[in-house]
Amino acid sequence: MIVQLQIKVNPALYLRDPETSALGKNILKHGINMIYDIGFEEFTFKKLAQSIGTTEAGIYRYFENKHRLLTYLTTWFWTWMDYQIAFHTNNMADTKQKIHTVINLLTFHDKDAHTIEHIPKEQLHRIVVAEGVKSYLTKHITEDNKAMLFMPYKDLCHHIALLFTDYAPTYPYPHSLASTLIETAHHQIYFKDNLPRLTDYGGDKHFQNITIFLRHLVFSVLDAKL
Amino acid sequence: MIVQLQIKVNPALYLRDPETSALGKNILKHGINMIYDIGFEEFTFKKLAQSIGTTEAGIYRYFENKHRLLTYLTTWFWTWMDYQIAFHTNNMADTKQKIHTVINLLTFHDKDAHTIEHIPKEQLHRIVVAEGVKSYLTKHITEDNKAMLFMPYKDLCHHIALLFTDYAPTYPYPHSLASTLIETAHHQIYFKDNLPRLTDYGGDKHFQNITIFLRHLVFSVLDAKL
DNA sequence: TTATTAATGATAGTAATGCTATTTATTATA
DNA sequence: TATAATAAATAGCATTACTATCATTAATAA
């Protein structure tokens, strides 16, 4: 059985849907690899065009600018993550177990076997960790938000918040805790690799300790009395 | 009694010490106001030069580039915050009370009367909230880190971690919790204003709810058994 | 089959950005 | 007063971030 998972992204994020052509898919694939390799600041459409074998103007037909491409990618990731959570927690009886699953997914604790041809997920995850916040830390956040660009992030946050409320119905800050969980997963991954003195994970090669830290954090908060 | 508080920043961050001349102080003051007004992406040395009444090259004599200026500003802020914590928690007997003080300071809960002529602190705080992470989310993080540019952030984090360890000696992740507290204070402030659906603060005008959320978070984690 | 459309490729051009080098003016010191 | 050191002003260049035009190819419809 081959199931093709297609993620539909808000059309406001692109000029031409990159999923509908070979060039579009190349922009996504090479774009992810290049941002991963050289970072978002160094990344330009000219360099991307060269690596694909097309022209700068060719890429501008798909994305208004590189910031929009970044938002496309992070949005894609949030939608995908939201789906992963729905998929993996489906039919689980225990809410606590569901929350464990969410934390494992957010830290990429379990590797996902399902590969998508033109989206290198491992690299995309790293982009979201290292560059993701740049998609909303801008002066045009208000317009972007009105254009619903961050809906997938909000949905993800809301779904996690629902689990929190299910587990601890009286806890008054489920959304704040959910966004904190997501953001903390990211910066702790980044700090572990780049500013380890801001963490206590020592030489831990994987995300084991981050997972334990996050589990303890979330359940301490939800189990505590108010 | 007039006490002048002078913050010394790592000389690797500037080419010429901006504290030592009128132009330098203008760069800091107008730089803060301009980044606050138009955001870091839109901010350029040319615009800054115009607003000060000097030339682009004039600014380059003080700072290698705008990213270094941002790091200078955030670093200044961390050093200042670290000092604020030391000052305000000094002679406090109770560690719990010290941690409360830290949270109040991080959220700018209490206004600081002490003004510094060329550093508009309220705006600087907002820059740290909205742009601060951009100083370390770069591809040159490793060199920057080796050059000790982020020492003030690490010191601040460590001092908070020491309080956590004092309060809960067996808690194994005091630094991770400290960096999480700092980062969470920031993104919750940003989300409250710009992406409120990621929070539960409703129409709260001030940081009251964020403070309560953070207090509950920190003490739940520290009071929980392992 | 041919006509039409849509997507891509090639080329060029513009304004702003990020930065450097050189010259000119000012100040401090011998 | 001469001269060295410092700072300011000017000019310039390479890259970036786009936009516009037109030729070519591929896809589809009449």
Query: Which nucleotide is nearest, taking the CA of residue B55 and each C1'?
Result: D9
Tell me which protein residue sits closest to nucleotide C10, measuring alpha carbon to C1'. A55
Rounded Cα gap, residues A162 and A167, in angstroms = 9
CATH number at residue A96: 1.10.357.10
B129 inside domain: yes
**Residue of B118 and B79 predicted with greater confidence:** B79
Q: Could you say which of A138, A188, A197 has the minimum Cβ distance to residue B39?
A: A138
Inter-chain touch B138–A41, beta carbons under 8 Å: yes
B136 inside domain: yes
The half-sphere exposure of A124 on its side-chain side, counting CA atoms within 13 A, is 25
CA B70 / C1′ C7 distance in Å: 43
Q: Which chain B residues touch A176 with a CB distance below 8 Å?
A: 188, 191, 198-201, 213
Q: Which chain B residues touch A157 with a CB distance below 8 Å?
A: 197-198
What pLDDT sits at residue A1?
65
Q: Tokens 């700090």 belong to which residue? A: A191
Is the CB of A190 inside 8 Å of chain B's CB atoms? yes
A48 inside domain: yes
A2 inside domain: no
Q: Which of residues 10-69 of B touch strand D (CB under 7 A)?
A: 16, 21, 23, 54-58, 61
Q: Could you say which of A134, A176, A220 has the minimum Cβ distance to residue B199?
A: A176
Inter-chain touch A134–B138, beta carbons under 8 Å: no
Q: Are A58 and A112 spatial neighbours (Cβ–Cβ below 8 Å)?
A: no
B142 inside domain: yes
Burial of A198 by CB count in 10 Å (0-12 exposed, 13-18 middle, 19+ buried)?
buried
Q: Could you say which of A131, A136, A188 has the minimum Cβ distance to residue B195?
A: A136
Cα-based angle B44, B129, A170 (whole degrees, multiple of 5): 155
What pLDDT sits at residue B187?
98
> Shortest CA distance to B133 belongs to which of A101, A1, A138?
A138
What pLDDT sits at residue B42?
93
Q: What is the number of CB-based contacts under 8 A between chain A and chain B?
A: 147
Across the range B133-143, mean pLDDT stands at 96
What pLDDT sits at residue A2?
67
Q: Could you say which of B38, B133, B209 has the minimum Cβ distance to residue A139?
A: B38
Rounded Cα gap, residues B34 and B69, in angstroms = 12
Across the range B207-216, mean pLDDT stands at 94
Tell me: pLDDT of B1 over 70. Answer: no
A4 inside domain: no
Is the CB of A65 inside 8 Å of chain B's CB atoms? no
Q: Could you say which of B39, B134, B142 has the minimum Cβ distance to residue A194?
A: B142
Domain extent, residue A148, equals: 11-223
Inter-chain touch B195–A219, beta carbons under 8 Å: no
Q: Which one of A113-127, B10-24, B186-200 scores highest in mean pLDDT?
A: B186-200
Is the CB of B142 inside 8 Å of chain A's CB atoms? yes
Q: Are B118 and B190 spatial neighbours (Cβ–Cβ below 8 Å)?
A: no
CA A39 from chain centre, in angstroms, equals: 16
- Which pTM does this prediction carry? 0.95
A1 inside domain: no
One digit per residue, pLDDT tens: chain A, 226 residues? 667 788 999 999 999 999 999 999 999 999 999 999 999 999 999 999 999 999 999 999 999 999 999 999 999 999 999 999 999 999 999 999 999 999 999 998 777 767 888 899 999 999 999 999 999 999 999 999 999 999 999 999 999 999 999 999 999 999 999 999 999 999 999 999 999 999 999 877 778 899 999 999 999 999 998 8
Range of weakest confidence among B73-87, B104-118, B182-196, B202-216: B104-118
Rounded to whole angstroms, what are the CA distances from A118 to A23, A24, A82, B169? 11, 10, 20, 49
Rounded Cα gap, residues A9 and A188, in angstroms = 28
A158 touches strand D (CB under 7 A): no
Inter-chain touch A198–B157, beta carbons under 8 Å: yes
Inter-chain touch B195–A130, beta carbons under 8 Å: no
What does the buried/exposed string (b/e) look like for B41-53 if buried means 16 or more CB atoms within 10 Å of the residue's CB? Answer: bebebeebbeebe
Q: Which chain B residues touch A201 with a CB distance below 8 Å?
A: 176
Is the CB of B196 inside 8 Å of chain A's CB atoms? no
Domains held by chain B: number: 1
Is the CB of A195 inside 8 Å of chain B's CB atoms? yes
Quick one: what percent of chain B has pLDDT higher than 90? 85
Q: Tokens 């010429």 belong to which residue? A: B16
Inter-chain touch A180–B134, beta carbons under 8 Å: no
Rounded to whole angstroms, what are the CA distances from A49 to A34, A52, A109, B32? 11, 5, 34, 36
A6 inside domain: no
The dihedral through the CA atoms of B177, B178, B183, B184 has a sign that is positive
Q: B116 - beta bridge partners?
A: B119
Range of weakest confidence among A156-160, B25-29, B117-121: B117-121
A22 touches strand D (CB under 7 A): no
Rounded Cα gap, residues A138 and A147, in angstroms = 14
Per-position DSSP letters for B158-201, written without gaps between them: HHHHHHHHHHSTT-S-HHHHHHHHHHHHHHHHHHHHH-GGGS--
Rounded Cα gap, residues B94 and B98, in angstroms = 6
